Amino acid sequence: RASDTNAFIIFTFKELKPREEKRVSFKLILRRKKKGSSTSLDFGVNEIPEKVRLRNIRIASFYSTRRLRKTVARFLGKTHNVLELESHILDFLQRNIKCREDAPSNPLTIFQRNYGSPEDIVFAFNVINMLIGLTVRTVSGFSIIRTGEENIVKRWVWSEILTPSGWVPIDPCKRVVLDIDDPTYIPIKLESPFRKIRDVETRYKTVKTTLRKGLEVIEEGTEIIVRLDGQLIKGKI
């Protein structure tokens, strides 16, 4: 990730005939940006600008329940230190919502269930943090799982919290605060908590009315190669 914005790859075809197929393959090389200074969650909620804090609370309230808002108020009654608050939030998620990778994703009902997909857990984590007043964002990409001699690459999602010194990544599903340069997490896409960006978007213009049935885009697969500790790790998604 070269910056705090998403990168888009655009392919343009000037003309497609009916039933014609186009196959596209590309290689994307990413280099991790070196951070100039470390970031920390050790700051107070009162350091967040009031306008930002109230806006975040107002947005998150729409997606929360009355019971959840009482839980957040209980957290704030104990401490206003963000590092300590994150510990309470991760403990709360571990006790109440089990992360299941095979579960279907339905973020809007996550607070009515005791389990959820990684995307659901991230959504719940983001809502709770915004109820505190923090600014958060969703990060999707890849995660490298080390299991003995074998390394597994899979799609993954996590969160980042904005602090006075920058963004701090947290994996709510695994309940850990990540090192900002953790090589086993590969960020690809940044999103606001409640606005999902499509991986593939197709825009087209038609000349004849008979062609207005649209285009079908099929993603056949992704092969990822990561250099980690001097070794190349390969995986297919």
Confidence band of 6 (pLDDT split at 50, 70, 90): low
Q: Per-residue pLDDT tens for 36-82?
A: 556 789 999 999 999 999 999 999 999 999 999 999 999 999 999 99
Mean pLDDT of the 206-232 span: 66
Domains of the chain, CATH where assigned:
45-194 (3.10.620.30)
Phi and psi of 209, rounded to 5°? -65, -25
C-alpha to C-alpha distance for 185 and 180, rounded to whole angstroms: 9
Highest mean pLDDT among 144-153, 154-163, 193-202: 154-163
Amino acid at the residue 55: R
Contacts of 184 (CB under 8 A, 6+ apart): 143, 144, 145, 146, 228
Longest dimension (CA), the chain: 66
Distance CA 90, CA 172 (A): 7
Q: What is the pLDDT of residues 85-97, one digit of tens each?
A: 999 999 999 999 9
pLDDT (tens digit, 9 = 90+) per residue, 103-130?
999 998 999 999 999 999 999 999 999 9
Q: Structure pTM?
A: 0.82
Q: Supply the pLDDT for residue 61.
A: 95
Question: Cα angle vertex 40, ends 38, 42, to 5°?
Answer: 150
CB 97 within 8 A of CB 124: yes
